[in-house]
Chains A and B, each alone.
Chain A
Amino acid sequence: METRVIINDERCKSCNLCVEICPEKVLRISDRLNPKGYRPVELFDNEACISCGFCYLICPDAAIVEIRRPVKAKV
């Protein structure tokens, strides 16, 4: 399954606002480091993400680059 939330690791400042606002609690601060020394956020449960866009809206650093929703296949 393709990701519903595209994250730009290099722009993330680990502010935690997206983690707090996510209604499904599917984001977390990772244990990786980006070039600026911040730990970028990651989506750990793509299936549970509801593509609400709250993380995109609250992110001050345009690190949540894109929110997508799967298109239902026509039967």
Chain B
Amino acid sequence: MKTLYKVPGAITDTPTTYCPGCPHGVAHRIIGELLDEMQLTKKTVIVWPVGCSVFGYYFIDTDAVEAAHGRACAMATGIKRTHPESFVITYQGDGDLASIGIAETIHAAARGERICVIYVNNGNYGMTGGQMAPTTLLGQVTTTSPYGREAHANGFPLKVPEMLAAIDGPAYIARGSLDNAKHIIQAKKFIRKAFKVQVNNLGFSLVELISSCPTNWKMTPEESLERIRKQVLPVFPIGELKVDEGVA
């Protein structure tokens, strides 16, 4: 028998704390595969967020720190600058990155910090029970937008990659999705490029991963992926938004 796919060694034996069908685990596996394939696992520091992935350091076997809510990019900046030989990643949800941590994110990007940001957007605050996030779609019902998000009262969904692609600092910005096998393979390609940016010392990179939250969306896992395809991707289209010269 020939092995075609195998769970990488960087993924620990500890079962995750995520709800059944939560794509956070898919994002972890992709990161673990790439760290092993690119032989980065031993020199990697992952800065974990506040949110459902707060215990990420139990699930991916690298050095790790846990940042205060939203501050992952600031912490990663300090780590990379004092340990330039380390490979430094932040892993953040949309509440963490786009709401409380948006200042840290924008300025790390503008400074072109040599860090990789993995940004998991599931359209709400998962851990605290599904409140509205900056990324919540118009019309989407959450515990804090019980009649659906309304533009005049709650503003519009925030598209972080589009925003960051407009500033000079970042070397690579992309958006992938975790809703099907083809998109998962593509998301891995985007993250590989983002990792190469840091390996080649080219600057800041960010990959947004469109994800779901079946529990707070009150859907089965399959329905939640269907919702990504029908409702989320038309607003948050997949693709590469900034690819600087030299990024391969």
Contact = CB atoms under 8 A, between A and B. Distances in A.
A58 B5 CA distance: 12
B15 interface: yes
A53 B180 contact: no
Given A2-B1, A15-B221, A62 B25 contact: yes
Interface residues of B, number: 28
Nearest to B226: A20
Contact of A21 (B16, B180, B220): B180
Contacts of B22: 60
Interface in A27-51: 36, 38, 51
Contacts of A4: 1
Contacts of A57: 5, 26, 181, 184-185
Contacts of A2: 1
Nearest to A5: B5
Contacts of B5: 53, 56-57, 66-67
Interface residues of A, number: 31
Given A16-B221, A38-B20, A61 B15 contact: yes
A69 interface: yes
A70 B1 CA distance: 4
Contact of A65 (B7, B185, B220, B221): B7
A52 B181 CA distance: 10
B225 interface: yes
B15 A17 contact: no
Contact of A15 (B1, B21, B29): B21
Contacts of A68: 1-4
B1 A13 contact: no
Nearest to B179: A58
- For the complex of A and B, 7 pairs with smallest distance between CB atoms: A60-B25, A15-B21, A13-B20, A15-B20, A68-B1, A67-B5, A56-B5
Interface of B: 1-7, 11, 15-16, 18-26, 29, 180-181, 184-185, 220-222, 225
13 contacts: A2-B1, A4-B1, A15-B21, A53-B181, A56-B5, A57-B185, A59-B25, A60-B21, A60-B25, A66-B5, A66-B7, A67-B3, A71-B1
Interface of A: 2, 4, 10-11, 13-17, 20-21, 36, 38, 51-54, 56-62, 65-71
